[in-house]
Structure 1
Amino acid sequence: MTDSPLQATVRPIRDASRRLVRELGFMKPTLAGTEFSASAVHALIEIGARDYLTSGELSDILNLEKSSVSRMVRKLVDAGELVESVSETDSRIKPLSLTGKGRETLAAIDAFAQEQVVAALNNLSPNIHKTVRDGLALYADALEASRTGSMSSAMRPVTIETGYRPGVIGRAAEMHARFYANTVGFGQFFESKVASGLAEFAGRLDRSSNQLWTAIEDGNIVGTVVIDGEDLGTGCAHLRWFIVEDGRRGGGLGRRLLDEAISFCDQQEFAEIQLWTFKGLDAARRLYETFGFVLDEEWPGQQWGSEVTEQRFVRRIRDVGRRMQTAGLK
């Protein structure tokens, strides 16, 4: 029986999760070079990050039974790592804080973990450090959301906004530079071309045939796309600077951005839309084709600093209409 797409993803994630548990030392009775269990080490980290916590708050954060946390806290107090005080406003509340010894232990834990993570990252290309960081954060957040019934950060509303906004030129250039450095080896020249080209275009946004869309999550730009209605001549739109942040692809955000851009072109009654890309970006190609783009030509080129096969895709309104009629959709 062939696995479903979901099962094909679940298995490698489970495998990676088991390996993480083993490589980080969670199978051992003690953790991070200390004499303490994993739960005790995490308790010291969380209390140190907040200055103080009650046992009840610690239980919620660590997702442990209150009785288990109570026993663990007592051991840490007896070991001189924690001190329990009484709230001045409510004698029932007993905040826990680190002692001097506890702060020394926490510093050693942080140094151990820092060395562990740095050693791992040194085995990876710097271009994918952010992908690892964001992917782990999103997965951990999704696990927590599944347990608590809350909303994962990956599911927070992303709005699509039009027009210039502060930071969009630099942010779009950064997302392009990171993605294309990792996929095809482009460098400074490519990033500079993106930044200068988008900066020039931004000065023409006051013209009705031009538009810029940004995907915004929590105030941050996580995707862009542009329609330049001038640089290819009358009746032809140029789809440019289409990018979605690393870790956000595959969730429908790119489709939302393209939908806005294509709808704008249809409203403006452009006869065709053209875009330039590179061979090998198969996911992007499939997305373009669902919007009626077809490969028009391709050729080898080195203008971006390394040799790639450049491609030009075209969406002609008459061809789209003909395909819809053939499919019985119009």
Structure 2
Amino acid sequence: MNQRLTTSRIDTMRSAARHIVRELGFMQKGLAGTDLSPSAVHTIIELGYGKVDTASDLGALLHLEKSSISRLVQKLEKDGLITAQPDPGDMRSRTLSLTEKGRALLRDLEGFGRRQIGSALDNLSPKAVDQIEIGLKLFAQSLDTRDRPTDAATRPIEVRERYYSGVIASVALLHATFYSQHYGFGAVFERKVATEMSEFMGRIDNPGNTTFSAYMGDDLMGSVSLDGEDLGEGAAHLRWFIVNPRSKGLGIGNLLLGRATAFVDSAGFDCTRLWTFRGLDAARHLYEKHGFELVHETPGTQWGTEVFEQEFVRQRGA
């Protein structure tokens, strides 16, 4: 044990942690203003944030046994908050996603949580708030990595802009692998991504065009591109947003969309549009967090498989 971690200091921190748990309502029957259990509330939040997408992953995240997860999923399905479908890549598992009712609840939970924390921190100095933020992040990371023989949580993330050697192949591979495993997309989709991104990289240096790619060493953790030419004057096209499944929990998607929206605002675009399809709840949560709104939804087959295609729009400065 670290010699500076005396029993007295550890007990002081334990006492503070118990106080936080009580004040945030974890001892009450309902949590965050709902009639749901803590595990149910966490399920809604983590599905919405994209931390998990299967029942087995949910069990690992919440440290609950399989039977408890099964009962939890059944209740949330019955309440109309989530859907559970067989996982195409592993028929022993089920893929979970939020329903519209579930996404509405997620927005309520986020509002409740932000008001709760904001109220607690409102009278503190900026320096004290910074100390609390850093301390909580470090403590969460220490809990998350204490049993893992990996340095993933501490390895630096480098965001590279515009073209970088290998980025076309890496982005196409991430798309092809993920959408084949989870949604059955095939050669039409893979060819479309590789061909269109290759064409885009031929004009990457034109004003209004760029790509942000997050790397951990030589490994691509995620990427997003902004095409300022193909939708006409005043509109940017957000394209090929993808996050490596191995980077879950590192905030890569949030980081990339933050860079993307800052780029389009500084470049003076009136709006930014993107096209996706129904069911990508983690991505949708990030889009809405960064100011995008769903404006149109219709069945379509542009990616080689029939899905409910969605169009999102973000106005400048949203």
Q: TM-score range by the shorter chain?
A: 0.5 to 0.7
1:178-197 superposed matches below 5 A? 178-197=177-196
- Which residue number in structure 2 is paired with residue 173 of structure 1? 172
Query: Against the structure 1 CA distance between its residues 299 and 215, is the aligned structure 2 distance closer, same or farther, given a 3 Å change threshold?
Result: same
- Decide whether aligned partners of structure 1 residues 236 and 158 sit closer, same or farther in structure 2, where only a CA change above 3 A counts: same
Q: Determine helix, strand or coil for the equivalent of 1:206.
A: coil
Match of 1:230 in 2: 229
Matched pairs, number: 200
Mapped to 2, the partners of 1:158 and 1:167 lie a distance apart of 17
**Which residue number corresponds to residue 157 of structure 2?**
158
Once residues 9 and 15 of structure 1 are traced to their aligned partners in structure 2, the CA distance between those partners, rounded to angstroms, is 6
Contact map agreement 2:214 2:256 (CA 8 A) in 1: yes
Q: What is the distance in 1 between the residues matched to 2:89 and 2:179?
A: 14
Letter in 1 for 2:170: R
Displacement of 1:276 in angstroms is 0.3
- Counting only pairs closer than 5 Å after superposition, residues 1-330 of structure 1 correspond to structure 2 as 1=29, 2-3=37-38, 5=42, 13=63, 15=65, 125=89, 145-146=145-146, 152-317=151-316, 320=318
Q: Is contact 1:184–1:308 with CA below 8 Å preserved after alignment? A: no
Judging changes above 3 Å, is the alpha-carbon distance between structure 1 residues 208 and 297 closer, same or farther for their aligned structure 2 residues? Answer: same
CA distance in 2, matches of 1:152, 1:13: 22
Compared CA separation, residues 316 and 144, structure 1 to 2 (3 A): closer
The residue number in structure 2 matching 1:108 is none
User: Could you tell me how far apart the structure 2 residues matched to 1:126 and 1:244 are?
Assistant: 21
Q: Report the CA distance between 1:208 and its aligned residue.
A: 1.8
The one-letter code of the counterpart of 2:236 is: A
Deviations 1:172-199 (A, max 9, x none): 0011111111232100110011001110
Moved more, 194-203 or 179-188: 179-188
- Residue type of the partner of 2:277? F
Helix, strand or coil at the partner of 1:157: coil
Please give the secondary structure, in 1, of the residue aligned with 2:160: strand
SS in 2 for 1:186: coil
Amino acid at match of 1:146: R
- Structure 1 residue 262: deviation in Å? 0.5
Please, which runs of 5 or more residues in structure 2 have no aligned partner? 1-28, 30-36, 47-57, 67-86, 92-141
CA distance in 1, matches of 2:272, 2:169: 25
Measured in 1, the distance between the counterparts of 2:308 and 2:256 equals 25
Deviation string 1:104-154 (CA, Å, 9 cap, x unpaired) is xxxxxxxxxxxxxxxxxxx98389xxxxxxxxxxxxxx9995159x87323
CA RMSD, Structure 1 to Structure 2 (Å)? 3.1
Contact 1:236 1:274 in 2 (8 A): yes
Superposition deviation, residue 249 in structure 1: 3.3
| 1:232/1:143 CA distance change after superposition, 3 Å | same
Letter in 2 for 1:195: A
Larger radius of gyration: 1
Contact 1:299 1:310 in 2 (8 A): yes
Structure 1 residue 303: deviation in Å?
2.6
The Cα of 1:159 is off from its aligned counterpart by 1.4
Q: 1:10, 1:3 → 2: CA distance? A: 16
- Secondary structure at the aligned position of 2:245 is classed as coil
**Is the partner of 2:247 in helix, strand or coil?**
coil
Structure 1: which amino acid aligns with 2:279? G
Q: How high is the TM-score relative to the length of structure 2?
A: 0.57
Between 1 and 2, higher relative CO (CA 8 Å, sep ≥ 6) is seen in 2
Whether the aligned pair in 1 keeps the contact of 2:185 and 2:304 (CA below 8 Å) is yes
Matched residue, 2:14? none
Indicate the SS of the match to 2:204.
Answer: coil
For residues 266 and 208 of structure 2, what CA distance do their matches in structure 1 show?
Answer: 10
Confirm or deny: 8 A CA contact 2:271 2:316 kept in the other structure. yes
Shift of 1:264: 0.5
| TM-score normalised by length of structure 1 | 0.55
Secondary structure at the aligned position of 2:177 is classed as: helix
SS at match of 1:227: strand
1:12 CA displacement = 5.6
The answer on whether the counterparts of 1:172 and 1:243 sit within 8 Å (CA) in structure 2 is: yes
